[in-house]
Amino acid sequence: MSKQVKTAVVGASGYTGMELLRLLLMHPNAEITCVTSRQYAGQQLGEVFPRYASAPGAEVLFIEPDAAAIAATGAEVAFLALPHGVAAEYAAGLLEKGLKVIDLSADFRISDPEVYEEFYGAPHPDRELLKEAVYGLPEVRAEEIKKARLIASPGCYPTSITLPLLPLLEAGLIDPQSIVTCSMSGVSGAGKTGNVLFSYCESNESVRAYSVPKHRHLSEIEQELSIAAGEKVFMSFTPHLMPAHNGICTTTSAKLIGDADKVNEVLTEAYKDARFVRLLGKGKPADTKNVTRTNHIDIGWEYDARTGRVILMSAEDNLGKGAGGQAIQSFNLMCGLDEAAGLLNY
């Protein structure tokens, strides 16, 4: 029998948790020993999520989130699908118990605690742990992820925005201060919430910008872009809510420096071994419908000679490559599994 890694999902009641569970239930090398949720403690996974009711593994019980209790289930790796601020505390406790931790909150994504405080409005909850956390973008830091105890798994917008831009910035092909991005996210990005704003009748037939001009994800986006550019990058980012369940469509425009033909060359080289980045080529927009419920990100591009701008068009599933799928990808790397184990779903 193949290797089985015992896993825990902490805070499994929302959509990110639900997607993590879906992927873990189907994963050939993962066993769920523990799911936590204050709200659902005492209920079986399959009761809380009727979609999974008949899955092998669906009989596991929800427990209260507690590091000792989680460790006692034998879990070797814990995924944290908790609100920022809360996650850090569990991370510390679980690491202490010897688990590896993949945190899907923002708590360990921003290496500079001052920037964290600026964007999240509270002092960083654990500056010490922050130092060892690895920003878990597998296409960029696979080797670090393999050795990490603590992964800060990137946000949904950052993944869709940085993957197309990073190689171009590193290659000096675009002006780092000219970046303008619009993204459109499905409603699941707002979480499983009773907020009437995200009710069917308020979200259907509604498209609107929000968190203008300084969405929290800008902190990690600019951090990563700055590393690639070798200078502090400031960019314009406008997220939009659109009437879909899943999916992020991102369109970025930036001033080209040099030769447009090199765009393709640089992207191709950068992602030649990346199993979840699909380059569509020039003139091919990415469509969310091709990536929902997968760990893929599709990237197309175009050059606009009239304005001298490169247009980058990417699509991913906000819950997949933008959250749960990407976390599983890090999990695979950390556990010495095939990077794509459990992720070859379509």
CA distance 344 to 249: 21
140, 141, 142, 145 alpha-carbon torsion, rounded to 10°? -150
Scanning residues 324 to 343, which ones bind its own copies (CB under 8 A)?
A: none
CA distance 340 to 317: 16
Query: Considering beta carbons, is residue 253 or 330 the nearer one to its own copies?
Result: 253
Taking alpha carbons only, the member of 122, 107, 113, 114 closest to residue 154 is 107
Size of the site for its own copies (CB under 8 A): 81
Scanning residues 275 to 334, which ones bind its own copies (CB under 8 A)?
A: 275-276, 278, 280, 283, 285-294, 296, 298, 302-304, 306-307, 309, 311, 313, 315
Instruction: Please compute Rg for the chain using Cα positions.
Output: 20
N-term to C-term CA, the chain: 25
Pattern of binders to its own copies over 103-122, x per CB under 8 A? --------------------
259 binds its own copies (CB under 8 A): no
98 binds its own copies (CB under 8 A): no
The count of other CB atoms within 10 Å of the CB of residue 159 is 28
Scanning residues 27 to 86, which ones bind its own copies (CB under 8 A)?
A: 50-56
Smallest distance, its own copies to C-beta of residue 21, A = 9
201 binds its own copies (CB under 8 A): yes
Choosing from 98, 123, 243, 258, the residue that interacts with its own copies (CB under 8 A) is 243
From the candidates 34, 156, 201, 335, which is the catalytic residue? 156
Smallest distance, its own copies to C-beta of residue 67, A = 28
Smallest distance, its own copies to C-beta of residue 326, A = 16
Smallest distance, its own copies to C-beta of residue 214, A = 7
CA distance 346 to 343: 9
Query: Considering beta carbons, is residue 92 or 180 the nearer one to its own copies?
Result: 180
180 binds its own copies (CB under 8 A): yes
CA distance 337 to 333: 6
CA distance 247 to 19: 13
202 binds its own copies (CB under 8 A): yes
Sign, CA dihedral 127-132-133-139, equals positive
314, 318, 322, 327 alpha-carbon torsion, rounded to 10°? -150
Coil, strand or helix: which one is 192? coil
4 binds its own copies (CB under 8 A): no
Scanning residues 116 to 175, which ones bind its own copies (CB under 8 A)?
A: none
Provide the 8-state DSSP code for 322.
I
Choosing from 1, 147, 196, 272, the residue that interacts with its own copies (CB under 8 A) is 196
In the residue annotation, 156 being an active-site residue is answered as yes
How distant is the alpha carbon of residue 43 from its chain centre? 28
20 binds its own copies (CB under 8 A): no
Query: Considering beta carbons, is residue 155 or 186 the nearer one to its own copies?
Result: 186
Choosing from 29, 105, 203, 326, the residue that interacts with its own copies (CB under 8 A) is 203
Maximum CA extent, the chain: 62
Non-local (6+) Cβ contacts of 41 within 8 A are 62, 63, 64
Smallest distance, its own copies to C-beta of residue 265, A = 20
Please list the active-site residues. Answer: 156
